[in-house]
């Protein structure tokens, strides 16, 4: 966690454009789903992630109001990724719960190793391993961060921030 002191230090060193990439919905990662009896998302973990992201956005908003020239963008990767998890078919995914690569239930007990199971269609999975998104997911998230709009990326997107 980067506190106000951390952001102030960056500002003092000359940073005027700051990007915050929020934490994802950690409660929906295959590793935490695998621990759940119903294989559902952990609401408690997702709530913690949402609170963290909201606090960071609030910190940046407040600092921008008090620091001349400070511009920022916040990417709510949690909300963006939840869209893919909750409606995978709408975004071209076949699997949003299990990992593409790993061992054990949902490929989430042991991480991706040379002896792990690898899914045949990596682009059809939201998660690569027990925590990380696949390349297909990362590309979609990146597109939203660069060219998206509120509420997923605000007050400006990365492309707009870079042009300021």
Residue 50 lies in domain: 4-163
pLDDT digit string, tens, across residues 12-60: 999 999 999 999 999 999 999 999 999 999 999 999 999 999 999 999 9
Indicate whether 2 pLDDT > 80: no
Count of structural domains within the chain: 1
The structure's pTM equals 0.91
> What is the CATH number for 89?
3.40.50.1110
**Hey, what long-range contacts does 46-53 have (CB within 8 A, 24 or more apart)?**
46/78, 46/82, 49/22, 49/23, 49/24, 49/25, 49/78, 50/78, 52/1, 52/22, 52/23, 53/22, 53/23, 53/78
């Amino acid at each position: 966690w980067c506190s106000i002191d951390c952001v102030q230090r960056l500002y003092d060193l000359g940073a005027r454009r700051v990007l915050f990439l929020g934490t994802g919905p950690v409660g929906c990662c295959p590793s935490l789903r695998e621990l759940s009896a119903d294989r559902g998302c952990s609401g408690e973990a997702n709530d913690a992630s949402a609170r963290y992201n909201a606090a960071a956005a609030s910190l940046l908003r407040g600092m921008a109001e008090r620091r001349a020239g400070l511009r920022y963008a916040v990417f709510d990767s949690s909300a963006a990724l939840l869209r893919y998890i909750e409606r995978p078919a709408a975004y071209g995914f076949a699997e949003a719960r299990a990992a593409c690569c790993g061992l054990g239930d949902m490929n989430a007990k042991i991480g991706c190793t040379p002896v792990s199971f690898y899914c045949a269609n990596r682009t059809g999975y939201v998660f690569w391993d027990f925590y990380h998104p696949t390349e297909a997911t990362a590309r979609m998230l990146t597109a939203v961060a660069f060219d998206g709009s509120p509420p997923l990326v605000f007050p400006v997107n990365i492309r707009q921030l870079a042009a300021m």
